Amino acid sequence: MLGGLRKLVERGVIGDSVPALVRWGKPLPRSVIRGIQADGFRKVVRYAARHQKFFARRLAESGIDPARVREPQDLGAIFTTPEDLLSLAADDFLCRKPQAVFETTGTSGGPKRVYFDYQELDFAGRYEAAAFYENGMRPGDRVVCAFDAGYWISSWVTFLACRQIGVFCSAVGKPHPREVYERVGRYGYNVIVADPTWLVSLSEIAEKEGTFPVKLIFAAGDRMTDVYRGYVQSVWEAPVILGYGSTEMGGGLGMECVRRDGIHVDEFNFLVEILGADAEGYGELVVTTLSRRTMPLIRYRVRDVTRLIEEPCACGATLRRIARIKGRRDEMVVMGAGNMYPEIFENVLHDVEGISDNWQVGVRQEGTHDILQFRIELSNGSTPAAVEAAVGRNLSARYPDVWANRQCGMYRLEFRFLPAGTLAQGRKPRRLVDERDT
């Protein structure tokens, strides 16, 4: 019931340390990794069939014998969805008595609750520690983690990862960046872990008032544009490494390596699929947790859109990679402009001067016409005319097909300028909303 490398540790094949996991896990042949995943998938399917009411019910409804399941495709149309977690009682998913619960941010209809035991949290910390170690974190470093705490899982798993490596760690929740800035020098933090927008705010302070020696910066939570990453790196003169995960995944699904060319997936504990891939390979990410037993998730539809990167990574790691998240399946809007994702508008707006970080794009309908409405907060004395011109230039240059559809009259472009603070939202703002009648 434990992950592939953990079995080798318990059998004494490899040392019980983070460096040992990195040394043994990085160069394993793909055939060995595939074997670990196949074995883990068979076992979690049979375990959940015996202990999880939800999965057992779905198997019975589909007439599928769990003993005959060898790979995800053998389960046909059986998936676990965010709606399942929201609408059903915890008892439908729990396989044994839990010791901890965490919640999602609730951007898709309310918070989803995911349960763990202490061993599973320690285990998640061990593998996140391996990713930190591979990227250069070492004993003697001093880490400040500014992930939100409360009922969100990331801060706790990061703290446990730092404990595994033996580094000094302050997991401080998500205070105002000013509070952390005033302590970076005092406590000698040389590694910063936080979400992208918080890092930008911290960097704006540091750019004006001075920086401190920082070795590494790890970011996860929101999408981080190349512009944001470049800005943070230029201020601190340190690399920004991106991680990816969620509460449902138990913190982290994977992390970039020093090459920063895709997210290496923790294939010892997760099996990933891409559902409904398009011509470029982009589709919805589907995840099965291989090593969790308190509340395993079988073929969980994450709703994030990405693709598998098939080429080997230059870093030498044999773990498969996924591309940076393109958007959410439930955020994709099909309209006269084409298939719209928040990523499109991030790329259009990121270098437009005189607007705040708070913005939203709404898709409306008037009669038979679609309207793409930019909702923007002005700052620094910019004028609506200047912003409209800049957005038009960027949209036509960066997304000529989208612009061509406008020229053909397939949709109209509108702007709505709002007072500062109007668009401030929660931890994960809705950048793209479809407001048309169904």
Q: What angle do CA 188, 194, 200 make, to 5 degrees?
A: 95
Domains defined for the chain, CATH in brackets? 1-326 (3.40.50.12780), 332-434 (3.30.300.30)
Contacts of 411 (CB under 8 A, 6+ apart): 335, 336, 337, 369, 370, 371, 372, 405
Q: How confident is the model at residue 1 (pLDDT cuts 50, 70, 90)?
A: very low
Our CA angle for 121, 304, 150, nearest 5°, is: 40
**75: pLDDT confidence band, cut at 50, 70 and 90?**
very high
pLDDT for residue 407? 84
Q: Has residue 381 got a pLDDT over 80?
A: no
E-assigned strands of 132-280?
A: 142-145, 168-171, 191-194, 216-219, 240-246, 251-255, 263-265, 270-275
Mean pLDDT of the chain: 89
Q: Amino acid identity, residue 5?
A: L
* Whether residue 289 has pLDDT greater than 60: yes
Inter-residue contact 388 to 399 (CB < 8 Å): no
Strand 411-418 vs strand 369-378: parallel, antiparallel, or unpaired? parallel
In this predicted model, what pLDDT tens digit does every residue of 163-190 receive, in sequence order? 999 999 999 998 899 999 999 999 999 9
List strand residue ranges (DSSP E) for 342-388, in order. Answer: 355-366, 369-378
Q: Which of 7-21, 132-146, 189-203, 304-318 has the lowest mean pLDDT?
A: 7-21
Q: What pLDDT is attached to residue 11? A: 56
Cβ density class 162-174: b for 16+ within 10 Å, e for less? bebbebbbebbeb
How many residues are given for the chain?
Answer: 438
**What pLDDT is recorded for position 39?**
96
* Residue 107 predicted with pLDDT over 70: no
Q: Quick one: pLDDT at residue 77?
A: 96
Residue 304, CA atoms < 13 Å, CB-side half-sphere: 24
Lowest mean pLDDT among 56-65, 131-140, 263-272, 353-362: 353-362
For 219-250, the pLDDT digits (tens) are 997 777 787 899 999 999 999 999 999 999 99
Give the span between the Cα atoms of 216 and 145, in whole angstroms.
Answer: 12
